[in-house]
Structure 1
Amino acid sequence: MNTLLDEYYRYDLHNPGFIERKQTISEEHTLVCGIAQSGKSSLIKHYLLGHKKATYLYLDCRDVRLNIDELNRTLEPFCRENKIAILALDNYREEIALFELGQILLTSEIAFETSFQTLRLDLLDYEEFLAFENKYDDTALNHFFQLGGFPAMHRIPSEERLLYLQKILTRALEPIEFSILMQASKMVTQKVSAFNLYERLKGERKISKDKLYLHLQSLYDRGYLKSLDKFNHPSAVKKLYLCDIAIKQALTLQKHFGRVFENLVFSELDKHGVECYYDEGIDFYLPSKAQIVLASPFANEHALFKKVEALEAFIVSNRVREVIAVTMNLESTLSHPISRIEMIPFAQWALADQEETT
């Protein structure tokens, strides 16, 4: 095992074309968690490359040559002998024993119990996507719809992107989890229970309810799937969303731009940690902002005014101050007696200061 550790210690790390993310690693012990291809390895390598090579050891725990028992016996003595100050265990497995050291960095899909600082690395939001695009013209939003938030998609030829994403998901997920994700991709933005998914999947493969529920929860825990509660009804059926719209394009031929757009709006709210709920006729209610957000890519003023009229009881009872319709490119302010109504293009809404606009 010392031979393998020495091999890693002598490696020259490469992290070409790294683009700064909103999340950064400090000098504390840190667990970086996020789904496959969210950029965890690149973030850690970028941090390590800011230090002298002899002071750190980077180890990818997926290496099939690793023997955990041997590693647990040799890793600490190796670090002491070589005066290593920073140990980075990429794709960390919890059976690997940790020990006292200057700084330890871990990556994992799951945020497990630890005393380390936990850094949740989401996929790119729209602002980060623009940094990867290196352009801010009218084509950027359309490109965002095509690529989604996976950082690596910018380096993949266009004809290979969907197959690349399928390969990544197949490798990262168990077969039953991949089947669940495929089915979920057909049901985005809908009210979906675990039983609904079970009913859909049992016709395709033999599966027990318990097994499905277990793997479904794992997809939620790791962040591949997201859910949204109904306001003031936590036991009601939740709405289902994907962590990224590119997954829907990769796993289904189904086209429904309205649902994709709503998922995109949800993802921006989710990545900014905005507390929100759905209600009947309401895509997103943000109680801390006294605001309703509607995903309305092709809204017009007349249709929007009629929609708000249908929501007057909710607006009055919850003292909603503002209704924002996020559109593809339409911008307008409507006069309404009980609430401010704005139509805001997605690119403008997503780039605005979240504290002020959401």
Structure 2
Amino acid sequence: MNTLLDEYYRYDLHNAGFIERKYSIGEKNTLIHGITQSGKTSLIKHYLLGHKKSTYLYLDCRDLRLNIDELNTVLSPFCRDNKISILVLDNYIDTIHLIEIDQIILSTELDLDLPYDKIHLELLDYEEFLAFESKFDNTALNHFFQLGGFPAMHRISSEDRALYLQSSLSRALEPIEFAILSQASKMVTQKVSAFNLYERLKGERKISKDKLYLHLQSLFERGYLKSLSKFNHPSAVKKLYLCDIAIKQALVLQKHFGRLFENLVFSELDKHHIECYYDEGIDFYLPERGQIIIASAFANEHALFKKVESLESFIVSNRVREVVAVTMNLESTLSHPVSRIEMIPFERWALSDE
């Protein structure tokens, strides 16, 4: 095992083309958690390359050559003998003992109960995505639809992107989880219960309800799947979303631009941790802002005005100040007796301060 540690210690790390994220690692013990391909390893390597090579040891815990029992015996003396001050355990496995050292950096999919600085590394929001673009012009939003928020997708050729994401997800997920995610990709933005998913999947494979519910919960906890509650009805069936629209495009042939666009709007709200709910006829209600958001890529003023008329009771009873229709490129302000109505292009909406 010392031979393998020595091999890792002598490795020259490479992190070509790293682009700054909204997150950075400090000098304290740090846990970085997020789904596969969210950029955890790149963020770690960027931090390490700012230090002397002799001061850190980087280990990828997925390495099949690692024997955990032996590692637990030799890791501490190896670090001490080589005067290592920073230990990185990428793709950390909790059976590996954490040693006394100046700084430990861990990466996982799940948050862990450790007294460390925590970085929940989200996929790229639209603002971060623009930093990855080689040029910023009117094609950027279309490119965002094609690539989604996975940072690595920028360096994958267009014909390989679906296969790359399929491969990444199949490595990170158990087969049943992959099947659940594939089925969920067909049902995005719909009201979906665990039983609905079970009914769909039981025709394709033999699976118990308990096993499905367990793995479904894991997908939510790790952030692959997201849900949205109904306003003032926490027990009502939740709406289902993917963490990124690229997953739907990689796993199913079925295309529905309106649903993809709604998922895209939801992802921006989710990544910015904005409290929101759905209601009948309402995509997103933001109570703290007194705002309704309607994801309508190709809205027109007449249809939007009629839509707001159907929501008057909700608007008045909840003192909604503004209805925002997020569109692909249409922009307008409408006059309505009960609330201000704005049509805002996605790009301007996603990059605004509010």
Pair in the same fold by TM > 0.5: yes
Match of residue 314 from structure 1? 314
Match of residue 347 from structure 1? 347
Residue identity matched to 1:171: R
TM-score normalized by structure 2?
A: 0.99
Match of residue 145 from structure 2? 145
Q: Is 1:161 equivalent to 2:161 in the alignment?
A: yes
Identity %: 80
Match of residue 298 from structure 2? 298
Match of residue 19 from structure 1? 19
Match of residue 283 from structure 1? 283
1:341 aligned counterpart, secondary structure? strand
Residue identity matched to 2:95: E
Residue-by-residue CA offset, 1:287-335 (whole Å, 9 max, x unaligned): 1111111101000111101101111111111111111100000000111
Residue identity matched to 1:127: E
Q: How does 1:47-58 map to 2 (within 5 A)?
A: 47-58=47-58
Distance across 1 between alignment mates of 2:114 and 2:342: 44
Residue-by-residue CA offset, 1:240-266 (whole Å, 9 max, x unaligned): 000110110111111100000000000
Match of residue 274 from structure 2? 274
Q: Is 1:182 equivalent to 2:179 in the alignment?
A: no
Distance across 1 between alignment mates of 2:274 and 2:52: 39
Match of residue 107 from structure 2? 107
Alpha-carbon offset, residue 37 of structure 1: 0.6
Residue identity matched to 2:56: Y
Q: How many residue pairs are counted as aligned between the two chains? A: 354
Q: Is 1:202 equivalent to 2:202 in the alignment?
A: yes
Residue identity matched to 1:39: G
Match of residue 68 from structure 2? 68
Alpha-carbon offset, residue 52 of structure 1: 0.9
Alpha-carbon offset, residue 134 of structure 1: 2.8
Residue-by-residue CA offset, 1:190-234 (whole Å, 9 max, x unaligned): 000000000000000000000000000010011110000111111
Residue-by-residue CA offset, 1:17-40 (whole Å, 9 max, x unaligned): 000001111111111011111100
Q: Is 1:243 equivalent to 2:235 in the alignment?
A: no
1:129 aligned counterpart, secondary structure? helix
Residue identity matched to 1:121: L
1:73 aligned counterpart, secondary structure? helix
1:319 aligned counterpart, secondary structure? coil
Alpha-carbon offset, residue 125 of structure 1: 0.7
2:89 aligned counterpart, secondary structure? strand
Residue identity matched to 1:148: G
2:57 aligned counterpart, secondary structure? strand
Give 5+ residue unaligned stretches, structure 1.
Answer: none
Residue identity matched to 2:117: Q
Residue identity matched to 2:15: N
Alpha-carbon offset, residue 135 of structure 1: 1.9
Residue identity matched to 2:88: A
Alpha-carbon offset, residue 136 of structure 1: 1.6
TM-score normalized by structure 1?
A: 0.98
2:183 aligned counterpart, secondary structure? helix
Distance across 2 between alignment mates of 1:100 and 1:316: 59
1:184 aligned counterpart, secondary structure? helix
1:84 aligned counterpart, secondary structure? coil
2:226 aligned counterpart, secondary structure? strand
1:294 aligned counterpart, secondary structure? strand
Residue-by-residue CA offset, 1:85-126 (whole Å, 9 max, x unaligned): 111100000000002211100000111211111110111111
Alpha-carbon offset, residue 53 of structure 1: 0.8
Alpha-carbon offset, residue 178 of structure 1: 0.6
Instruction: Provide runs of 4+ in structure 1 moved above 4 Å.
Output: none
Match of residue 192 from structure 2? 192
Match of residue 229 from structure 2? 229
2:79 aligned counterpart, secondary structure? helix
Residue-by-residue CA offset, 1:119-168 (whole Å, 9 max, x unaligned): 10111111111110132211010011011111111111111111111111
Distance across 2 between alignment mates of 1:23 and 1:303: 41
Residue identity matched to 1:45: K
Alpha-carbon offset, residue 8 of structure 1: 0.6
Match of residue 261 from structure 2? 261
Distance across 1 between alignment mates of 2:283 and 2:29: 39
Match of residue 217 from structure 2? 217
Match of residue 252 from structure 2? 252
Distance across 1 between alignment mates of 2:101 and 2:342: 53
Match of residue 90 from structure 1? 90
1:333 aligned counterpart, secondary structure? strand
Residue identity matched to 1:145: F
Match of residue 37 from structure 1? 37
Match of residue 132 from structure 1? 132
